[in-house]
Amino acid sequence: MSLFTTTYDVIVVGGGHAGSEAAAGSANMGARTLLITMNLQNIAQMSCNPAMGGIAKGQIVREIDALGGYSGIVTDKTAIQFKMLNKSKGPAMWSPRAQSDRMQFAECWRTMLEQTENLDFYQDSVNGLIFDGNKIIGVKTALGLEIKAKTVILTAGTFLNGLIHIGEKTFGGGRAGEGASTGITEDLVEKGFESGRMKTGTPPRVDGRSLDYSKMTEQPGDEKTEKFSYSPTTSALKKQRSCYLTYTNQRTHDLLKEGFDRSPMFNGRIKSTGPRYCPSVEDKVNRFAEKDRHQIFVEPEGWTTVEIYVNGFSTSLPEDIQDKAIRSIAGFENVKFFRYGYAIEYDYFPPTQLTHSLETKLIENLFFAGQINGTTGYEEAASQGLMAGINAALKVQNKESFILKRSEAYIGVLIDDLITKGTEEPYRMFTSRAEYRTLLRQDNADLRLTPRSYELGLASQERMDRVVEKKEKTEKTIQFIKNLSVTKEEINPILEKKNLAVVNQSMKLYKIAARPQLNFKDLLTIEKLKEYTLNNNIDQEIIEQVEIHLKYSGYIAKEKNNADKLNRLENVPIPSTFDYTKVKSLSYEAREKLTKIKPTSISQASRISGVSPSDVSVLLVYMGR
């Protein structure tokens, strides 16, 4: 099968987290897919920190897994530490996070992709796009090949006209040691696309043998580890590597300030916007001048390597300043550098130019995913890649797009935020961005999304059977607890042990179990409950579901009711040809924004910045409601 004569169903440009999930997604949907990347050795490279998950990001990885993506499986297979963050808060906030072995992570991804049917690989740089009117029909490479495709997914990461900054030095590149990608932005701008520039940065990597860990605080993983994937092919960690915590100090800040006049951040050479929630260390010192110290997390890059990632010290200051300043941190006095930190500027395309399927509005069959859409983070990129891969394959198969609502997934929130509100700074997911976070928990991503994935043909029968079993066992256990009466002799010893108010008569266990201070484990001394869990093989996963229901069913029901109300607005479509300029009762700003974004439903229109409730009422009248 020759590249010169084949027309692929899907070409994925770029082999980062978005590109890898896009290629896997479209190939597993049955589309003949080609992944083109500048260097096949760097597929799914962790360009920044060696970790997956975290606040809201962990939920996204679980959702990717539930939909049939690979990120969760790869993370489980290559993890060196696991933590469930926010465990002291309610379950809507619990977020899994894992440190990974950087080299194993990329190797595992490549192996899984190579074992994926319908997927071909080609190493080259794409420097042009081939159009037929307002449709894309292929790509041009640096070696001069023209490869034809029915759909194209661009996942260029930080490579589009990438520019690396270290102190007063500036050079082209998409990542340290790798060249930038040119030509794509220019082709798109010529077609009428609006583009912008964003900035991100990375900290130094150092030699762990040169650090004094006795001056730092050890940060071990959870005693009882969990995992990301719902697949039985992965297991929770048995052994882990610790991270360490130390701090900058006033001396560090003074030394950093010595380089501010040579900092590209402050002397005007970097004009683009960086990530608000992951600022460089010089930015932190400048913006939070009242703070006399900042946290530095010392994170190992793998099981056997001595390379250390200095999380919290992202910087583009000159090398001599980085060297001096880092030595003033406790434990870093005799540090040896593997590589210095740097900042990178790159092109992105404001995501209001996309539809919910991540297809561009201007060019048919062209999809964008990842940092090209203004996001930051592996997890955000991977989820967009998977959705773009699924939708490109569906487009080729002449099937309806696969869209997730805000009430169905964090992925739905992410994509809706991007295409409805756009972003002028690197977008990062937080639990606070989701209105329905009690529904969108990390523990129920399989219940929410595997049935949808199964309908698409992505999730296996085995995955679906496990979800059905989990749902049935959870419901039966809740019913058992609702029907089970306990005597005061059975329950009071448990309540007294917890210093809780005792009961005067027999009552249903369901009422007592809802008390926030009690957990399921406390109740297992009740013989009938203990017997039920053993006889019905009720594992920890089911117990967690039951416990969340017992304690939060009121909140969950309320949120579901709110989501149902909003979804009714979601079902009021707006024709793509609707002319807002003729609706004089709309505010000027609403007309302008609605014309630009072209929302597909009343619900989406209501979320556009500048569209007021009265504007929504006007639209409802026009749509016959």
Which residues have C-beta within 8 Å of that of residue 484, sequence separation ≥ 6? 508, 509, 510, 528, 529
Dist. CA 510–CA 513, nearest whole Å: 5
| Residue that wins the pLDDT comparison between 341 and 568 | 341
Q: Taking residues 122-143, what's their average pLDDT?
A: 97
Token pair 């989990």 is at which residue? 470
For the chain, give the percent of residues with pLDDT over 70: 100
Q: Tell me the sheet residues that pair with 222.
A: none
535, pLDDT greater than 70: yes
| Overall pTM > 0.85 | yes
From the list 490, 512, 486, 485, the residue with the least C-alpha distance to 501 is: 512
Among 319, 313, 363, 358, residue whose Cα is nearest residue 133: 363
> When comparing pLDDT for 425 and 149, which is higher?
149
Q: Do residues 343 and 165 lie in contact, with contact meaning Cβ atoms separated by under 8 Å?
A: yes
- What is the structure's pLDDT at 42? 95
Radius of gyration of the chain (CA): 26
Q: Is the pLDDT of residue 364 over 70?
A: yes
Query: What does the pLDDT read at residue 383?
Result: 98
More reliable by pLDDT, 363 or 623: 363
Q: How far apart are CA 261 and CA 243, in angstroms?
A: 33
Position 152 pLDDT exceeds 80: yes
- H-helix segments, 276-354: 281-287, 319-326
Q: Report whether 278 contacts 272 (CB < 8 A).
A: no
Nearest to 480 by CA among 543, 551, 558, 553: 543
Q: In whole angstroms, give the CA distance from residue 258 to residue 315.
A: 14
Average pLDDT over residues 285-289: 89
Per-residue confidence (pLDDT) for residue 142, from 0 to 100: 96
pLDDT tops 80 at residue 624: no
- Mean pLDDT computed over 297-322: 97
What's the pLDDT band for 275 if we cut at 50, 70, 90? Answer: confident
Q: CA-CA distance, 550 to 480, in Å (whole number)? A: 12
Assign 3-class secondary structure to 558-577. HHHHHHHHHHHHHCCECCCC
pLDDT band at 625 (very low <50, low <70, confident <90, very high): low
Q: Give the whole-number percent of the chain exceeding pLDDT 90.
A: 76
Mean pLDDT of 355-377: 97
Span 156-183, mean pLDDT? Answer: 92
Question: Which stretch of DSSP H or E encloses residue 26?
Answer: helix 17-28
Residue 229 has pLDDT above 70, yes or no: yes
Per-residue 3-state assignment (H helix, E strand, C coil) for 475-542: HHHHHHHHHCEECHHHHHHHHHHCCCCCCCCCEEHHHHHCCCCCCHHHHCCCHHHHHHHHHCCCCHHH
Query: DSSP assignment, residue 160?
Result: B
The mean-pLDDT minimum among 28-42, 345-359, 514-528 falls in: 514-528
Q: Which of 1-5, 224-228, 439-443, 529-533 bottoms out in mean pLDDT, i.e. has the lowest?
A: 1-5
- pLDDT of 34 higher than 90: yes
Contact 352, 597 (CB under 8 A): yes
| pLDDT (0 to 100) of residue 4 | 81
Q: Which residue has the higher pLDDT, 140 or 433?
A: 140
* pLDDT of amino acid 549: 92
- pLDDT tens, residue by residue, 53-82: 999 999 999 999 999 999 999 999 999 999
